[in-house]
A and B are shown apart, each in its own frame.
Chain A
Amino acid sequence: MNRLSGYFFQRPKLVTLLLLSLPMIYMLVVYLGSLVSLLVNSFYYLEEFTGLVVKEFTLGTYAQLLKPTNLGIFRRTAGMALAVTVMDAIVAFPLAYYIAKFASPRLRTYLYIAVTLPLWSSYLVRVYAWKLILSKEGIVSWFVDLFHMNFALDWILSIPGVGGSSLSLSPLGMFIAFCYIWLPYMIVPIQTALERVPKSLLEASSDLGATPSQTFRNVILPLAFPGVVAGSIFTFSLTMGDFIVPQSLGTSRFFIGQAVYSYQGTAGNIPLAAAFTMGPVVIMIVYLLIARKLGAFDAL
């Protein structure tokens, strides 16, 4: 036993290799393997007449993505992802700032639990909870009715691209649910980034004549920005790929996730589903490269 320990002690590289081999095999075979298979499938095409997948190289499937309806799906999804990211950043920042800089250590623990607790419950349950809250007979409508604000709600719901038949079946409803569901993923990295800003930097700034708002703009915001970018990676990519929220709260206009879901399911058009998936993958690769440039990975 001792000799074995000694053997490994003198060969740290071998130990690292042994420890990493299992996750490495998993990453290579299961994770990268399925991505490659996805990529390969996206170059096949569906024979419309027989409904069978033809395993021949073609760019035809990608050409289908350029149809106006499909481009609309990309635009809609990316637009939603962007809007959710911006909103989450705006909501998360003050919360994260309070947790990181003002809350006592005890309170901080409770707030931290409060922020992450929703992640313990099923995602589906939370989406359906929102469906109930936003539905025509739900609590939001009840409140609106109570204050006789129905005209305002009707006006909002009549805006094309935002409204729908009810809050629970509209882009606005999806936006609200998305913002809620991904919010913890934005708060935590911003809080981490803010916690790393030493108090003395803020004191130094005010010592050098900066008012609190100047300190915020010149010191706090630039130093917390990598955290915002890190959080946006989550909010953006999770919104991009999601199909549950659009399905339960959305209108008949598809999002990427729904398109993939329906093409690979009953339609049996695996190549088109694969091609659809490559869209967000490419967008996220570009996004991550930019995020790395902005220092987001230091804040994780």
Chain B
Amino acid sequence: MTKPAIRFEKVSRHFGDVIAVDAVDLEIQDGEFFSMLGPSGSGKTTCLRMIAGFDRPTSGRIFLFGQEVSNLPPFERDVNTVFQDYALFPHMTVGDNIAYGLMIKRVPKDERKKRVDEMLDLVQLAGFAARKPSQLSGGQRQRVALARALINHPKVLLLDEPLGALDLKLRQQMQVELKSIQKRIGITFIFVTHDQEEALTMSDRIAVFNQGRIEQVGTPSEVYEKPATPFVAGFVGTSNLISGDVAKRITGSEKTFSIRPEKIYLGSLSDAPSEKMYSATGTVRDVIYLGLYTRYLVNLDDGGELVVIEQNLKTTSMDVLKTRDQKVCLSWDKEHISRVGG
């Protein structure tokens, strides 16, 4: 059994009275693309900074491949970071920026140059070595920051919201590229983001952070299909949360459950739902036509409301708008609900 790349043991970080990270336990396997997802202030960046060594845990221990690193300074850890603002040295050329780590380690000049060229190829910036960071676009700076970190062959690469400053198209392109680079070189990537779509697209596993704690760790499909807590259900994608009496009438249990809007069928009252389905009747209160799909807001007869999303396979805007104020029967597969505690 190989040692996990990163292991957190009851790690806490306090800033004065504020508890940024609260007794977090976590294991990240070697070679994983692992995302830390959460809103700002949820502790994900602090966790990353503690792995890098910029912050020390107030209590608890951090291990890198079985070796404790909790109190090692950043320059004695085999991890490298891609910063949110890229943090390229403005007084150095792109080549010198990428070679910085090797220069510090006194790697001979010709080998440095060879490895810089390899890195520039990897991030598709061949021929840019002599430029200054100020002459590059945001996306290019991003690649330089990546190359500067990867040239040191870190055991783990840390990425702190690296795509936040890029526009949507570039961001999607970089998502694919990052993932393919990670597959090619095979090292662990730990990726901090507040963008759930980004986390779902790229990750092998995701940890969802909230208020200094991890709410759930799982694969993208686990986190999406089976959210463990109401917070995860609400933060990752949109979700309907049903609890109390309404939940009891529909499923026979008072326990809160979540159901994704796209898993719900919108049918007429005469449709008889099968045994494998839960169902509820209600009135369409609002219809929002969004081209690709339509969003319905349905008031349940038992109380509460559900958001339903239906793809516009055959329907046109005229058809969907007619359903407003109509009585409907909603049904969904019993397997598609997720009990979220409570």
Contact B91 A208 (CB under 8 A): no
Chain B residues with CB under 8 Å of A203's CB are 52, 54, 74, 81, 83, 87
Interface residues of A in 100-147 (CB under 8 A from B): none
> A211 near B: Cβ within 8 Å?
yes
Contact B90 A208 (CB under 8 A): no
Chain B residues with CB under 8 Å of A208's CB are 75, 80, 100-101, 104, 148-149, 152
> A64 near B: Cβ within 8 Å?
no
- CB-based closest 9 A-B pairs: A204-B87, A200-B87, A208-B101, A206-B74, A209-B104, A206-B75, A207-B81, A210-B104, A222-B91
A1 → chain B closest CB, angstroms: 45
Kindly state the interface size class of chain B when it binds its partner. 20 to 34
> B234 near A: Cβ within 8 Å?
no
In whole angstroms, how far apart are the Cα atoms of A211 and B106 in the complex? 13
A194 → chain B closest CB, angstroms: 14
Interface residues of B in 51-107 (CB under 8 A from A): 52-54, 73-75, 79-81, 83-85, 87-91, 100-101, 103-105
Which residue on chain B has the smallest CB distance to residue A201?
B87
> A205 near B: Cβ within 8 Å?
yes
B97 → chain A closest CB, angstroms: 9
B127 → chain A closest CB, angstroms: 23
In whole angstroms, how far apart are the Cα atoms of A211 and B88 in the complex? 18
- Residues of B near any A CB (own CB < 8 A): 52-54, 73-75, 79-81, 83-85, 87-91, 100-101, 103-105, 148-149, 152
In whole angstroms, how far apart are the Cα atoms of A223 and B87 in the complex? 13
| A209-B75, A209-B101, A210-B75 as given contacts; A204 in contact with B90, CB under 8 Å | no
Contact B90 A207 (CB under 8 A): no
Which residue on chain A has the smallest CB distance to residue B158?
A207
Contact B91 A205 (CB under 8 A): no
Contact A200 B75 (CB under 8 A): no
Which residue on chain B has the smallest CB distance to residue A295?
B91
> A278 near B: Cβ within 8 Å?
no
B84, B87, B90, B103, most chain A CB atoms within 10 A: B87
Contact B85 A209 (CB under 8 A): no
In whole angstroms, how far apart are the Cα atoms of A200 and B74 in the complex? 13
Contact A223 B104 (CB under 8 A): no
Complex A-B: 23 CB contacts under 8 Å: A203-B52, A203-B74, A203-B83, A204-B83, A204-B87, A204-B88, A205-B100, A206-B53, A206-B74, A206-B75, A207-B52, A207-B53, A207-B80, A208-B75, A208-B101, A208-B104, A208-B148, A209-B75, A210-B100, A210-B104, A218-B103, A218-B104, A219-B89
Chain B residues with CB under 8 Å of A209's CB are 75, 101, 104-105, 152
Chain A residues with CB under 8 Å of B87's CB are 198, 200-201, 203-204
A230 → chain B closest CB, angstroms: 16
Contact A201 B104 (CB under 8 A): no
> A214 near B: Cβ within 8 Å?
yes
Which residue on chain A has the smallest CB distance to residue B160?
A200
In whole angstroms, how far apart are the Cα atoms of A159 and B175 in the complex? 70
In whole angstroms, how far apart are the Cα atoms of A222 and B93 in the complex? 13
Which residue on chain A has the smallest CB distance to residue B77?
A207
A228 → chain B closest CB, angstroms: 14
Contact B91 A198 (CB under 8 A): no
Interface residues of A in 165-208 (CB under 8 A from B): 198, 200-201, 203-208
In whole angstroms, how far apart are the Cα atoms of A214 and B87 in the complex? 17
A198, A214, A218, most chain B CB atoms within 10 A: A218
Partner of A200, one of B73, B80, B85: B85
Which residue on chain B has the smallest CB distance to residue A210?
B104
A271 → chain B closest CB, angstroms: 47
| A198-B85, A200-B83, A207-B80 as given contacts; A223 in contact with B148, CB under 8 Å | no
Partner of A223, one of B73, B75, B91, B105: B91
Which residue on chain B has the smallest CB distance to residue A206?
B74
Which residue on chain B has the smallest CB distance to residue A203?
B54
A56 → chain B closest CB, angstroms: 53
Contact B81 A204 (CB under 8 A): yes
Contact A206 B73 (CB under 8 A): yes
In whole angstroms, how far apart are the Cα atoms of A148 and B83 in the complex? 58
In whole angstroms, how far apart are the Cα atoms of A198 and B83 in the complex? 12
Which residue on chain A has the smallest CB distance to residue B80?
A207
Chain B residues with CB under 8 Å of A214's CB are 104
Chain A residues with CB under 8 Å of B75's CB are 206-211
A150 → chain B closest CB, angstroms: 48
